Structure 1
């Protein structure tokens, strides 16, 4: 079981140009998309979050159930669902503004235990920024790591939600001893101001950096560096692409029985390119269609 911990929200995606373009609601949130992608790939997965009782919340849970994701660890609340208004650029890249005051996912509390059979827990995005929930997710991360559970982190920086950049950067560094696999975009890496070697020295067994169409690179604690090119595709938008990479990496590691620090180190020059290539293909499919629509396993066969 791979547990994904973090927010579920509604993306409002413009269907046209201009400030008053019609907005189409879409189910989203980085951790939520990761959980959906894991379910579609066929990995046993569970979602750990707090979701509203409103109509958006019900729709979010319905999709998780429909992809086979366990929602028994989802807390419920009367608070509204978080909204994210997306702006899609000419190159398909997405930027967001958020409506987060008093929303359900901010009131998440750390569970007393992880679901039975948990092999890995994935964290990231807004859930590690917005208090008081952020401290609860941080507590869960440290607890899982202390129990020897494989942990994955994708900070997925949303700078507009971070009131004190320096404080967040310091907090990010404090998480690294509790992280097994760190995945982040080149833009995140630039914003954070560190290097893969610095982050590896602080704790993770591997760091994966995504560079959009240019591909992915993995850096390992033993000095390894492995790069694969991106898959060429006509990009509709990039919504959910990074979340798909998260899921593909975790799924690929689970299939290889490699959800441990020792197993990451043993992947080597054969395993890492194969794993990264799988993640690149999965992300390309997501980019080829509107919204966060990650691929199913059969779309990646072969």
Structure 2
């Protein structure tokens, strides 16, 4: 089983230029387009994508008891994701308002003050079947939950669990950039596989060393992996008509873990042993999965049969 830990939230996504009935402007009134609520959050999307790919997955978070929270849990269950590690609370669900550029790239504004996922508490233990732990995004920034997620990362890494970290940098929610960069550096000894976007790497000041491998997503240019031994392999992006990029990086996380699990490579020793052919296979699968997500509005990762 792969455990994904972190926030679940609602993305408010601008309706495309034409609504399903073909009405110009999507029914917009005035200068602002209507916003469509979508289930989201980087870790949430990763868990759903893993479930859709057929990998046994559990989600570890704190989710509101409001209507949005109920919908988020329903989305996990429909993807066959185990929700037994989900904590519940009466606080509201975090909202992320997305803006989509002409090239499909997405930016976000967050409404996270006093929301349920910020009050996550360290679980006593993960299931004995847990082979890997994935974390990232806002959950490792917003206190007091961030410290609990960090403690989970350190504890499970010390227990020999394979770890994937996707910081998925969101500058608007980081109050002190230098303090975050210093904290990020302290996480690296506990990380097996690091996934960064080019934007993340620039914000952090470069691609760091430490993990067994670092996967860099480069938008339309594809994906690159840099191994601890100094090897570097790249694959091109899969061609696609981009609707938006929401959830694409989260889909990459899931696809990497899914393919590594299929190759029985969820350990640092196994990552060190992967050759160029294996890495190109893993990265190519992730590129195809992300392309499917980019072809849809919002974070809608593919099912396993769509990648056959």
- After TM superposition, the structure 1 = structure 2 runs for residues 115-130 of structure 1, keeping only pairs within 5 Å, are 115-130=127-142
TM-score (norm 2): 0.95
Match for 2:146 among 122, 128, 134?
A: 134
Q: What secondary structure sits across from 1:50 in the alignment?
A: strand
Report how far residue 21 of structure 1 moved: 1.8
Report how far residue 207 of structure 1 moved: 0.2
- After TM superposition, the structure 1 = structure 2 runs for residues 92-131 of structure 1, keeping only pairs within 5 Å, are 92-131=104-143
Do structure 1's residue 88 and structure 2's residue 100 form an aligned pair?
yes
**1:224 alignment partner in structure 2:** 231
CA distance in 2, matches of 1:147, 1:113: 11
CA distance in 2, matches of 1:206, 1:181: 5
CA distance in 1, matches of 2:9, 2:126: 22
Q: CA RMSD in A?
A: 0.9
Report how far residue 163 of structure 1 moved: 0.8
**1:237 alignment partner in structure 2:** 244
CA distance in 1, matches of 2:260, 2:239: 24
Superposed CA offset, 1:182-214 (max 9, x none) = 00100000000023xxx22xx310000000110
Which 4+ stretches in 1 moved above 4 angstroms?
16-19
- For structure 1, the 5+ residue unaligned runs are none
Match for 1:152 among 161, 164, 188?
A: 164
Superposed CA offset, 1:243-277 (max 9, x none) = 00000000000000000001001111110001000
Q: What secondary structure sits across from 1:69 in the alignment?
A: coil
Do structure 1's residue 206 and structure 2's residue 213 form an aligned pair?
yes
**Relative to structure 2, which stretch is displaced further, 2-11 or 261-270?**
261-270
CA distance in 2, matches of 1:34, 1:246: 6
**1:265 alignment partner in structure 2:** 272
**1:4 alignment partner in structure 2:** 4
Change (3 A) 1:272 1:257: same
Report how far residue 91 of structure 1 moved: 0.4
Q: What secondary structure sits across from 1:49 in the alignment?
A: strand
TM-score (norm 1): 0.97
**2:22 alignment partner in structure 1:** none
Q: What secondary structure sits across from 1:87 in the alignment?
A: strand
Report how far residue 20 of structure 1 moved: 2.6
Matched-pair contact (CA < 8 Å) for 1:5–1:121: yes
Superposed CA offset, 1:221-260 (max 9, x none) = 1111010000111000000000000000000000000000
CA distance in 1, matches of 2:75, 2:295: 21
CA distance in 2, matches of 1:99, 1:177: 32
Report how far residue 19 of structure 1 moved: 5.4
Superposed CA offset, 1:5-57 (max 9, x none) = 00000000112577532111000000000000000000000000000000000
Matched-pair contact (CA < 8 Å) for 1:106–1:131: yes
Superposed CA offset, 1:150-208 (max 9, x none) = 0000000000000110100000000000000000100000000023xxx22xx310000
Matched-pair contact (CA < 8 Å) for 1:73–1:115: no
Q: What secondary structure sits across from 1:217 in the alignment?
A: strand
CA distance in 2, matches of 1:246, 1:213: 17
- After TM superposition, the structure 1 = structure 2 runs for residues 185-204 of structure 1, keeping only pairs within 5 Å, are 185-195=197-207, 199-200=208-209, 203-204=210-211
